[in-house]
């Protein structure tokens, strides 16, 4: 190909607010750039100084109370004009919109573009009121989408139910390199006695209570064992609930920055995920494996699947602190087994590495841009209806 493929990506949610879709778009865009593609991202953003060089602003999103929570939406004549200008100036080979069902940039891009459009659906939202109400109005935009990707089986079901067409399953990824190259936090690291935990500390489903309950029994077998706990939540409340004898064994770090998150995994000999349920996948386990840390997790179905039934990480009986203490103590005592788990973990996480997943998404791009004999490009949809509709919203 004489010309590098130019890929345009739209992110519907405010760039400088942390979120799953935002990280997905960021990791995907940066992976493409590493692979040598030309990438432009358009996204709502609060402070344009936070944008990386490959992204442009679509304006500020407005917070609207919706469905019992606050959604940030971005729809308006001004944003529509920005999206049109971006489409016109970027001269894209393929337009990849994320979550086009959200009332934001991706929807505006669908409305205003024509040509090879690929869409990724993230949420499982079985009864979206916005979708049900606006289905008729949105259909003309959605029927321009040539290929649909869902990040999960549940998201795929939502697409089938709401839009009546199928989607390809390509899961969320992990940027393995970022985790593999991260070092431990200062003062921590594998020293034969440290267990790391990452997750909301006041969310019972994340299971910190089980891990804390296992600590006394663990200390009986490993006298100098300690716990490093990172994640948002009320640190004081958790500290107040601790047995005073354990205070010096539990380091509560609170919320850590996005840069420090990979380092938390590297700060322990073992990463422990005592989640008690409702995990549909377990991206945290993959991240720990990418960081090269052996994993101990509860034996809930989703985790058992990721850990390949116990081959790639140790499982304990869900909610059973005594079982957890035994598994942790056994594993701390066996460095050979820890090494084996690290190797097995690397194998499990490899297919979820962003460059691998990006390769699969690029194949989809190839198929929608190669269609027919003439190469197609993304253009601006100048039909009267689209302009009218764009101005109406």
Could you say whether residue 20 binds other proteins (CB under 8 A)? Answer: yes
Write b or e for each residue in 310-346: b if 16 or more Cβ atoms lie within 10 A of its Cβ, otherwise e: eebbbbbebbbbebbbbbbbebbeeeeebeebbebbe
Could you say whether residue 154 binds other proteins (CB under 8 A)? Answer: yes
Which of helix, strand or coil describes residue 71?
Answer: strand
Give the pairing type, strands 379-380 and 113-114: antiparallel
Q: Report residue 118 as tokens.
A: 């690929």
Could you say whether residue 12 binds other proteins (CB under 8 A)? Answer: no
Could you say whether residue 289 binds other proteins (CB under 8 A)? Answer: no
Judged by CB under 8 A, the residue of 34, 153, 220, 391 near other proteins is 153
- Who's near 278: CB < 8 A, 6+ residues apart? 205
Could you say whether residue 379 binds other proteins (CB under 8 A)? Answer: no
Could you say whether residue 392 binds other proteins (CB under 8 A)? Answer: no
Could you say whether residue 169 binds other proteins (CB under 8 A)? Answer: yes
CB nearer to other proteins: pick between 54 and 281 = 281
Q: Alpha helices of 17-76 — where are they, by DSSP H? A: 20-34
CB nearer to other proteins: pick between 114 and 269 = 114
CB nearer to other proteins: pick between 62 and 356 = 356
The one-character DSSP state at 249 is: G
At its nearest, how many Å lie between other proteins and the CB of residue 326?
A: 26
How far apart are alpha carbons 98 and 118 in whole angstroms? 9
- Who's near 58: CB < 8 A, 6+ residues apart? 42, 43, 44, 45, 74, 79, 82, 83, 86, 105, 108
How far apart are alpha carbons 155 and 83 in whole angstroms? 26
Judged by CB under 8 A, the residue of 209, 283, 380, 393 near other proteins is 283
Could you say whether residue 156 binds other proteins (CB under 8 A)? Answer: yes
How far apart are alpha carbons 304 and 281 in whole angstroms? 10
Could you say whether residue 152 binds other proteins (CB under 8 A)? Answer: yes
CB nearer to other proteins: pick between 280 and 322 = 280
CB nearer to other proteins: pick between 126 and 351 = 351
CB nearer to other proteins: pick between 218 and 357 = 357
How many angstroms separate the Cα of 102 from the Cα of each of 56, 99, 137? 19, 6, 13
Q: Which residues bind other proteins (CB under 8 A)?
A: 19-21, 23, 114, 122, 124, 140, 143-144, 146-149, 151-156, 164-166, 168-172, 199, 279-284, 286, 301-302, 305-306, 308, 347-352, 356-357, 360-361, 363-364, 367-368, 370-373, 376, 383-386, 388
């Amino acid at each position: 190909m004489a010309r590098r493929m130019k890929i345009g990506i739209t992110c519907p949610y405010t760039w400088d607010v942390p979120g799953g879709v935002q990280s997905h778009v960021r990791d995907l865009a940066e992976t493409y750039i590493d692979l040598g593609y030309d990438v432009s991202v358009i996204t709502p953003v609060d402070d344009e100084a936070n944008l990386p060089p490959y992204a442009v602003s679509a304006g500020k999103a407005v917070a609207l109370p919706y469905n019992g929570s606050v959604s940030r939406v971005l729809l308006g004549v001004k944003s529509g004009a920005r999206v049109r200008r971006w489409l016109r100036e970027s001269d894209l080979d393929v337009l990849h919109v994320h979550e086009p069902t959200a009332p934001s940039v991706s929807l505006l891009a669908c409305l205003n573009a024509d040509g090879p459009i690929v869409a990724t659906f993230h949420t499982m939202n079985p009864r979206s009121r916005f979708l049900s109400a606006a289905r008729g109005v949105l259909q003309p935009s959605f029927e321009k989408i040539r290929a649909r990707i869902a990040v999960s089986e549940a998201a795929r079901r939502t697409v089938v139910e709401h839009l009546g067409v199928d989607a390809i399953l390509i899961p969320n990824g992990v940027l393995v390199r970022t985790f593999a190259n991260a070092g431990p936090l200062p003062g921590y690291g594998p020293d034969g006695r440290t267990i790391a935990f990452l997750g909301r500390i006041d969310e019972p489903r994340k299971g910190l209570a089980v891990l804390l309950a296992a600590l006394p029994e663990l200390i009986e077998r490993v006298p100098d064992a300690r716990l490093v706990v990172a994640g948002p939540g009320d640190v004081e409340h958790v500290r107040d609930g601790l047995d005073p004898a354990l205070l010096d064994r539990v380091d509560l770090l609170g919320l850590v920055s996005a840069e420090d998150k990979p380092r938390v995994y590297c700060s322990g000999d073992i990463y422990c995920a005592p989640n008690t349920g409702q995990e549909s996948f377990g991206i945290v386990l993959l991240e720990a494996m990418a960081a090269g840390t052996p994993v101990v997790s509860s034996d809930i179905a989703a985790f058992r699947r990721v850990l390949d039934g116990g081959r790639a990480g140790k499982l304990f009986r869900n909610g059973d602190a005594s079982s957890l203490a035994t598994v942790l103590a056994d594993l701390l005592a066996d460095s050979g087994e820890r090494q084996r788990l690290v190797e097995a973990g690397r194998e499990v996480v490899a297919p979820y590495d962003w460059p691998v997943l990006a390769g699969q998404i690029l194949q989809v791009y190839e198929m929608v841009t190669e269609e027919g004999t003439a190469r197609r490009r993304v253009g601006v949809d100048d039909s009267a209806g689209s302009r009218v509709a764009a101005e109406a919203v």
